[in-house]
Amino acid sequence: MSGSGIASSHIDSIIRDRLNASHVQVDDISGGCGQAFEVIIVSPLFVGKNMLMRHRLVNTALKEEISAIHAFTQKDYTPEEWQKKLQQ
């Protein structure tokens, strides 16, 4: 952790472990203080779930970490959706 915030690498590791993510991109948009993050998550756990269900899954998995920061923005994709996005 950096200061009173959370390190991007910590968020990345937790997402990979708890959500079986095949791709994670964590951007600290707080200027390095670890208080605001934009995250892209690619996980097979999102298959068959709408955006709200995906967000709830992530928010539940990261409940403790999200409560310790000011802002958390997520974009969630299934592996198939991610591959299509990369081809655009």
User: What is the per-residue pLDDT across 14-58, written as a single tens digit (0 to 9) for each?
Assistant: 999 999 999 999 999 998 888 999 999 999 999 999 999 999 999
pLDDT-derived band of residue 5, with 50, 70 and 90 as boundaries?
confident
Q: What is the pLDDT of residue 4?
A: 64
What span, in angstroms and rounded, lies between the C-alpha atoms of 88 and 83?
Answer: 9
The band of 1, judged by pLDDT with boundaries at 50, 70 and 90, is: very low
Q: Looking at the predicted structure, is the pLDDT value of residue 85 above 80?
A: yes
- Answer yes or no: are the C-beta atoms of 29 and 36 closer than 8 Å: yes
DSSP string, 20-83: --SEEEEEE-SSSSSSEEEEEEE-GGGTT--HHHHHHHHHHHTHHHHHTSSEEEEEEE-HHHHH
